[in-house]
Every structure is written in structure tokens, then in C-alpha cells.
Amino acid sequence: MSQRCLVVVPALNEEDAVGAVISDVKAVDPQAHIVVVDDGSTDRTSDVAKAAGADVISLPFNIGVGGALRAGFRYARRFGYQVVVQVDGDGQHNPEHIPDLLAALEGADVVIGARFAGVGDYQVRGARKLAMQLLARSLSRRTGERLTDTTSGFRAFNRRAVEVFANDYPAEYLGDTVEALVIASRAGLRVTQVPVEMRPRTTGTPSHRSLKSTIYLGRVFLALAMSRIRR
């Protein structure tokens, strides 16, 4: 892993999981510089992260994943990091795949760690599955690259992408994944994906239940429609 690689970990109330995420990343690359962006947690997320040896950007109040990420991108830009890797703080992403993402950055500006690309047995059902397929198809067309998992928060960005996103990273729910890809393709960034294996969440419950997945589908439609007409 390169010297100038920053691992950004957005975390909201993940005191039980974030420590393991940090030590796992360190196990893969002892040199990695890890920044946890604590998005207004009310628990000990930031203490745990500091104790585990990460730097912590503590946001004064909750501003959503998009804002947390943009803070990470700004940090990377300010201190001249060449590469940013985004790993969620809930322990879903297996840091062992980070070298795969970095390798794929050779031919792209944004690399998505995709959950349905043949590796692992991560599955979703019902309306949520439909929504994700819809997103994947639409964004594949947009980016000109076959993408199967556009909502994955396991990504790698090169310097060009960091520059773009440090200025403009969407805050809206779903926007942070969907619209970010639209912004990327508009800025002429190449987007690609590599298959990754997801781990079961170490703590907490998934943020979406079957009841909520219909609402999710509606928001996906809205996000897609918006991304189409946005300037």
C-alpha cells in the first residue's frame, strides 16, 4: 500500500465495532493512516477510535455520511494524500480487500467494492433488491461501466477523485452513493468495481428492514430522477 494512502472511516455510534475495524485495517497495512470521522456520535466512538490508534475528526453534530465523507476528502486534500479508501465503521467491509481496491485504481479514478459480483454470499430481497438493481442498471449506463452494487460504501479514490469530491460531495440520503457516481462521471472520472466479500455486521441491526425497503425504493426513484435533471 502506498505511503500516501488515507483510510477514511465514517462512523455513527459504532463504539462496539470501530475498534475492530481499525485493528483489521492495521493488520492489512501497519503503515495505513486511518481517520475516523465521528458523525456526531453520542457514544464513545471517538474515544474507542483514538485508543485504537486512529485520528478522529469529530463533527459537532450529525450531518450524514455524505458530510462525514467530504470532511475526510478535505482532510486528504489538505494533507496531500494520493489515495483515499472509504471503509464503513460498522465492520461490514473486510479490510483484506483494500489491496484489491487499490490495485484497481491503476485503471480507474473511483473503485467500488461490489457485494454482488460473485464473491461472498451477501444477499438482499424484495423491494430493496429491485431498488438496488435499478440503481445499478441506471448508473452503469451513466458511467459506461458495468456496476452491480452502486450503494456500497466500500470504495477507493485517487487524487483526481479526491479533488472533485472535496469540493462537491452530496449530503442527501442515497445521494452520497448515487449522486456521487453521477458527479464522478460528469467530472470525467472513470468508475469501476471489484468484487468483495461482505462480513455480517458485528454489531447493531442493518439500517433497513423489509418494511422500510419500499420507502427505500421510492427514494431510489427520486434520487435517480433528481440526478437526471440536476445541473
Q: Does 154 bind another protein (CB under 8 A)?
A: no
- Tell me which H or E stretch contains 56: strand 55-58
Q: Does 210 bind another protein (CB under 8 A)?
A: no
Q: Which of 74, 55, 64 is nearest to 12 (CA)?
A: 64
Pick between residue 83 and residue 102 the one whose CB is nearest to another protein: 83
Q: Does 59 bind another protein (CB under 8 A)?
A: yes
CB of 50 vs another protein, minimal distance in Å: 9
Q: Does 55 bind another protein (CB under 8 A)?
A: yes
Rounded Cα gap, residues 48 and 167, in angstroms: 30
- DSSP class of residue 93 equals B
The C-alpha cell of 42 is what? 453520542
Q: Does 222 bind another protein (CB under 8 A)?
A: no
Q: Is 157 helix (H, G, I), strand (E, B) or coil?
A: strand
Pick between residue 75 and residue 116 the one whose CB is nearest to another protein: 75
Pick between residue 71 and residue 124 the one whose CB is nearest to another protein: 71
Please list every residue from 180 through 199 that binds another protein, using CB under 8 A: none
Q: Which of 159, 5, 172, 165 is nearest to 70 (CA)?
A: 165
Q: Which residues contact 112 (CB under 8 A, 6 or more apart)?
A: 147, 149, 150, 152, 154, 155, 191, 192, 193, 194
Task: Select the span of 26-34, 53-61, 89-97, 150-158 touching another protein (CB under 8 A).
Answer: 53-61
The C-alpha cell of 61 is what? 453534530
Rounded Cα gap, residues 92 and 76, in angstroms: 23
CB of 186 vs another protein, minimal distance in Å: 18
Q: Does 166 bind another protein (CB under 8 A)?
A: yes
110 strand-pairing partners:
157, 191
Among 1, 28, 63, 226, binds another protein (CB under 8 A): 63
Q: Does 60 bind another protein (CB under 8 A)?
A: yes
Residues lying near another protein in the complex (CB under 8 A): 35, 37-38, 55-61, 63-64, 67, 70-71, 74-75, 77-80, 166-167, 171
